[in-house]
Amino acid sequence: MNRRKAAIAAAGTIAAGALTAGLISVPSAVAEDSSGPQARSGKHAGAAEARGVRKAAARAARAGIDWKDCPADWGIRDGVQCGWVTVPLDYAKPNGKKIRLAVDRARSTGGTAKRQGSLVYNPGGPGGSGLYFPARIPDKNPLWAKAATAYDFVGFDPRGVGHSAPVSCADPQEWVKAPKADPVPDSEADKRAQRKLAKEYADGCQERSGELLPQLTTPNAARDLDVIRAALGDKKLNYLGVSYGTYMGAVYAELFPRHIRRMITDSIVNPSRRKIWYDVNLDQDVAFQTRWNDWKKWVAEHDDVYGIGSTPEKVEAAWRKLRATAKKHPIGGKVGPAELLGVFQSAPYYDSAWARVASVWSAYLNGDEQPLIDAGAPDMSDVAGNKASENGNAVYNAVECNDAKWPSRWRTWDRDNTRLHAKYPFLTWANAWMNYPCAVWPVKQHRPLEIRAKTSYPVLMVQATRDAATPYPGGVELHKRLKGSRLITEKGAGSHGITNLKNPCINERVDAYLLQGTVDRKDVTCAPHATPEPVKSPAKAAAKAEAAAVPTMVP
């Protein structure tokens, strides 16, 4: 569930219009039965959807993927090829309208003798693009060099995202404008204003995204994943899912338990029906506060570098002062409390951001506002980037709002978030407004799948105990629900997306699983990866963070 939570559902000019881009028609075809027993029976998905995905997968297997050089404006580096996979808009109507999903790949490095298939990646969100994953091969990423000998690395834009029939809920240029209102309300009037914005945003989703909006669900994303598998020519799926990508993987495991060859879930969403999605987000509020406190302690330990505060309490006091200052006089006219949160929340998300955020803050305290303005203010000239950001936010809301029934009574939201904010103030109200469109959502909300599957091969799970975005109990819960799975716990660590961090205890087991198919006889606990080193210069800290970054956050 990676995204910029501080990008609260923004006020914007809502233009009417239905989504038509990317919709095509193809002839019908008779398909062979190629899915697992639960999909065949229609127990969870419905018989029509089960038949539809079998038809679509058979068609995709026959068509394959026409790999070509990637379009120049996609920003994909050399050494990666791009293509398209066609899927039904509605799996209950497989011969009806279709959408095309953008996919890309980098070929394995070990030759035909070592190749084991494709490794398909989803970075999370909902709303994240996986198209940057294959670059780990031509970039010679050392953590993935061994896996690259055996697998083509494959990324894709899920339905609604990026190049895959993208959806929208607001005019992107209006949506990114700043400063936005402080997400922490001072009055009932503030709450009414935020609720009004959320209703306008939800209505905008229906007006701007048309017939695709109701079809943006995790089960449909999992069905798309199986069609991609078939188009790649793989009999079974090799998959790496991070954050929300773990829930996509869990739903895939429930719908297609016999189609799994290798599956890694990294930083795991709690798949309990009771948790998806309202309670998952409430749990985040607690976990983000915990990890925020970890970061404050680290900043205080390096007060000789940053000069922010010599104790966590002093760092917290400095943070509250910064928020109050930005609320009264937005920094650079653009960076208020909401924009500050967009900058500072990356520290609880990722260890790689610790030094960058601290250095930007330190520069501000020493009289240089520009790094903080650059980090927090929107770039109105970046039209493409703003469009991608709004699109990611739209898909996030669409999928989570469609997947499950959310409380519709404001009294429930007000009670829960007021209570949580009293003890966990860092993210609570911003998270509430991010999700409040789901309380007034204009299309049907579904009941989540019950995830309890025995897969054709053990699923390997990786989870840090102090992860803010996907709290540790979620990993334990999925582990209980997928029979035969193995859980690697990184104890005392809290970064998100840890398979791309250097920790031999984890890295070596991931390689062994992908290359030899081996898992430990029992679950494993690993010591934490190295604690970040302080870097005072904002430019150097930013460069270091960029070098360490993994594509798991929605822009």
Task: Give 156-178 pLDDT, tens digit per residue.
Answer: 999 999 999 999 999 999 999 99
Query: Which one is catalytic: 259, 479, 496, 529?
Result: 496
User: What is the mean pLDDT of the segment spanning 485-508?
Assistant: 97
Continuous segment of H or E residues that includes residue 88 = strand 81-88
Give the distance, in angstroms, between the CA of residue 282 and the centroid of all CA atoms in the same chain: 17
User: What is the mean pLDDT of the segment spanning 359-364?
Assistant: 97
**Which residues, at least 6 apart from 29, have a Cβ–Cβ distance to it below 8 Å?**
55, 58, 59, 62
Interhelix angle for 47-63 vs 218-232, to 10°?
30
**Which residues, at least 6 apart from 480, have a Cβ–Cβ distance to it below 8 Å?**
none
**Taking CA 129 as the corner, what is the angle to CA 69 and CA 218, rounded to the nearest 5 degrees?**
125
Q: Is 479 tagged catalytic? A: no
Interhelix angle for 244-255 vs 218-232, to 10°?
70
**Are 300 and 314 contacting, i.e. CB atoms less than 8 angstroms apart?**
yes
Lookup: tokens for 36: 């697992």
Predicted pLDDT of residue 9? 29
Q: Above 70 in pLDDT, residue 5?
A: no
Q: By mean pLDDT, which of 20-29, 32-41, 501-510 is the weakest? A: 20-29
Torsion sign, CA atoms 175, 176, 181, 184: positive
Q: What's the whole-number average pLDDT of the chain?
A: 91
Residue at 11: amino acid letter: A
* C-alpha span between 22 and 164 (Å, rounded): 7
Lookup: tokens for 10: 């923004």
* C-alpha span between 236 and 260 (Å, rounded): 5
- Per-residue model confidence as pLDDT tens digits over 427-477: 999 999 999 999 999 999 999 999 999 999 999 999 999 999 999 999 999
**Residue 279 three-state SS:** helix
- Per-residue model confidence as pLDDT tens digits over 94-112: 999 999 999 999 999 999 9
**Which residues, at least 6 apart from 419, have a Cβ–Cβ distance to it below 8 Å?**
none
Task: Give the up-direction half-sphere exposure of residue 54: CA atoms within 13 A in the CB hemisphere.
Answer: 20
**Which residues, at least 6 apart from 352, have a Cβ–Cβ distance to it below 8 Å?**
495, 532, 544, 545, 548, 549
Of 514 and 38, the structure prediction assigns the larger pLDDT to 514
Lookup: tokens for 180: 């936005």
Give the distance, in angstroms, between the CA of residue 313 and the centroid of all CA atoms in the same chain: 32
User: What is the mean pLDDT of the segment spanning 342-366?
Assistant: 97
Residue at 550: amino acid letter: V
**Which residues, at least 6 apart from 196, have a Cβ–Cβ distance to it below 8 Å?**
none
Q: Above 60 in pLDDT, residue 45?
A: no
Residue at 156: amino acid letter: F
- Per-residue model confidence as pLDDT tens digits over 305-339: 999 999 999 999 999 999 999 999 999 999 999 99
Predicted pLDDT of residue 536? 82
Q: What is the DSSP letter of 408?
A: -
Predicted pLDDT of residue 429? 98
Continuous segment of H or E residues that includes residue 264 = strand 260-268
Quick one: three-class SS letters along 359-388?
HHHHHHHCCCCHHHHHHHCCCCCCHHHHHH
Does residue 27 have a cis peptide bond before it, meaning omega lies within 30 degrees of 0?
no
Q: Is 129 tagged catalytic? A: no
* C-alpha span between 454 and 257 (Å, rounded): 6
Predicted pLDDT of residue 82? 98
User: What is the mean pLDDT of the segment spanning 520-533?
Assistant: 97
Residue at 548: amino acid letter: A
Give the distance, in angstroms, between the CA of residue 21 and the centroid of all CA atoms in the same chain: 24
* C-alpha span between 524 and 513 (Å, rounded): 14
* C-alpha span between 9 and 176 (Å, rounded): 10
Lookup: tokens for 109: 């490095």
Lookup: tokens for 96: 């009806």
Torsion sign, CA atoms 139, 83, 213, 119: negative
* C-alpha span between 266 and 241 (Å, rounded): 6
**CATH fold label, 47-169+211-277+456-525:** Rossmann fold (3.40.50)
Instruction: For residue 121, give the nearest of 448, 497, 451 by alpha carbon.
Output: 497
User: What is the mean pLDDT of the segment spanning 117-122?
Assistant: 98
Query: Which one is catalytic: 467, 485, 511, 529?
Result: 467
Residue at 239: amino acid letter: Y
Task: Give the up-direction half-sphere exposure of residue 259: CA atoms within 13 A in the CB hemisphere.
Answer: 31
Predicted pLDDT of residue 1? 55
Please state the domain extents for the chain. Answer: 47-169+211-277+456-525, 176-196+286-379+398-445+534-544
**Residue 543 three-state SS:** helix
**Are 452 and 481 contacting, i.e. CB atoms less than 8 angstroms apart?**
yes
Q: Is 44 tagged catalytic? A: no
**Are 64 and 81 contacting, i.e. CB atoms less than 8 angstroms apart?**
no
Query: Which one is catalytic: 209, 243, 346, 359?
Result: 243
